[in-house]
Amino acid sequence: MEIAGIKMKNPVMVASGTFGSGKEYGEYIDLNKLGAIVTKSVTLKPREGNPPPRIVETPAGMLNSIGLQNEGVEFFLKEHLPFLSKFDTPVIVNIAGETVEEYARLAKFLSGEPAVKGIEVNISCPNVKNGGMCFGIDPKLTIEVISSVRKATRLPIIAKLTPNVTDITVIAKAAVEAGADALSLINTVVGMSIDIETGKSRLGTQTGGLSGPAIKPIAVRIVYEVAKAVKAPVIGIGGIMTGSDAVEFFWAGAKAVQVGTANFIDTEASIRILKEIEDYVHRHPRAFNFS
Ligand code: RRO
């Protein structure tokens, strides 16, 4: 099958930020079996991330406030990409920036790397003051970022959108109009958890991004709305723990899915989910056309 011109063996990808740079999981699962690997967001310069605590468990999910911690694009290309390039699985690099120019420069950097098969443009990080979600909640800024990335690279572009907007179809149309080849839906939902003994947030930054099964119905609804509104393929993300969860996203209109929070509970979750999808497809041979 193929998405945005990226050839994949199957529709199960691993979601950015939940799979490190791939190496961390290589000991536990056969990376060759995945549809694609999406790496943790990289920025031009290294970032230390947010003050702790950065993770809180919540009913049916978790909140994170990592704050885009990463070692920068040059370190990524030197230290992580060579390992990933050994596998027969496309590597999609998630990029984030504080300015439109930073996104474009990152895209240029990655364009010269044969091992990079696509760029996922993160305009939806909820945990940084500048950039991130600021772009993805505004259709004009969405157009600016995506069109500048479009000018900077010939690689397939996947825009990763935030659910924290009133009408996601407006942002989705803007991203596609500006040159996105596919859309990843959804990034985390802004949330908060308070310790009632101290009256303080359980996260260093007060609020964070909610992921896991708690957000699955929101994600399925958004995939459904966007798949009807744009022609570009949609990749479904949000609380996928089983093959049945993934199948819900396919029925909603997704062409592929990304497994995120489930990786933290079970390192083999993505492979298990793929098998469960295969079992479903075997029982329902005419349900989907993965081409
Ligand atoms: O690093 C983070 O805090 C983070 C990012 Br970049 C993102 O896109 N989504 C998220 O929930 N956390």
Encode pLDDT of 66-91 as tens digits: 999 999 999 999 999 999 999 999 99
- Going from the Cα of 281 to the center of ligand 1, the distance in angstroms, rounded, reads 32
- CB of 147 shorter than 6 A to ligand 1: no
pTM over 0.95: yes
Q: How is residue 70 written in tokens?
A: 């990463």
Note if 125 is an active site residue.
yes
- CB of 208 shorter than 6 A to ligand 1: no
Distance of alpha carbon 19 from alpha carbon 23, whole angstroms: 8
Residue (of 132, 127, 124) closest to 163 by Cα position: 124
Across the range 51-73, mean pLDDT stands at 97
- CB of 56 shorter than 6 A to ligand 1: no
- CB of 209 shorter than 6 A to ligand 1: yes
Residue (of 121, 90, 81) closest to 104 by Cα position: 121
Atom of ligand 1 nearest to the CA of 54: 3
CB-side exposure of 20: number of CA atoms within 13 Å?
13
- Going from the Cα of 116 to the center of ligand 1, the distance in angstroms, rounded, reads 21
Looking at residue 133, its pLDDT comes to 86
Q: How is residue 74 written in tokens?
A: 């040059």
Mean pLDDT taken over the chain: 97
* Residue 290 CB-density burial (10 A; 0-12 exposed, 13-18 middle, 19+ buried): middle
Q: What is the pLDDT of residues 119-144, one digit of tens each?
A: 999 999 988 988 888 999 999 999 99
Q: Is the pLDDT of residue 14 over 90?
A: yes
- Going from the Cα of 63 to the center of ligand 1, the distance in angstroms, rounded, reads 10
Atom of ligand 1 nearest to the CA of 68: 1
If you take atom 9 of ligand 1, which residue's CA is the nearest one? 125
Domain boundaries, the chain: 2-283
Distance of alpha carbon 193 from alpha carbon 53, whole angstroms: 12
- Going from the Cα of 51 to the center of ligand 1, the distance in angstroms, rounded, reads 14
Looking at residue 156, its pLDDT comes to 98
Distance of alpha carbon 51 from alpha carbon 26, whole angstroms: 29
Atom of ligand 1 nearest to the CA of 187: 9
- CB of 66 shorter than 6 A to ligand 1: yes
% of the chain residues with pLDDT over 70: 100
Residue (of 258, 266, 283, 273) closest to 17 by Cα position: 258
- Going from the Cα of 23 to the center of ligand 1, the distance in angstroms, rounded, reads 19
**Residue 228, Cβ neighbours under 10 Å: how many?**
11
Looking at residue 132, its pLDDT comes to 85
If you take atom 5 of ligand 1, which residue's CA is the nearest one? 125
Sheet holding 189-191, edge to edge: 55-58, 61-64, 208-211, 189-191
Least confident among 19-33, 193-207, 259-273:
19-33
64, β-bridge pairs: 55, 209
Q: What is the pLDDT of residues 88-124, one digit of tens each?
A: 999 999 999 999 999 999 999 999 999 999 999 999 9
Distance of alpha carbon 179 from alpha carbon 54, whole angstroms: 34
- CB of 15 shorter than 6 A to ligand 1: no
Q: What is the pLDDT of residues 191-237, one digit of tens each?
A: 999 999 999 999 999 999 999 999 999 999 999 999 999 999 999 99
Across the range 160-173, mean pLDDT stands at 98
Q: Is the pLDDT of residue 41 over 90?
A: yes
State yes or no: cis peptide before 240, omega within 30 of 0: no
Across the range 176-190, mean pLDDT stands at 98
- Active-site residue, from 110, 116, 125, 234: 125
If you take atom 7 of ligand 1, which residue's CA is the nearest one? 125
- CB of 124 shorter than 6 A to ligand 1: yes
* Residue 235 CB-density burial (10 A; 0-12 exposed, 13-18 middle, 19+ buried): buried
Question: Which listed CATH number (3.40.640.10, 3.30.1490.20, 3.30.70.2190, 3.20.20.70) goes with 2-283?
Answer: 3.20.20.70
Residue (of 5, 27, 87, 38) closest to 267 by Cα position: 27
Strands, E assignment, 61-202? 61-64, 91-95, 116-122, 157-160, 182-185, 189-191, 194-195, 200-201
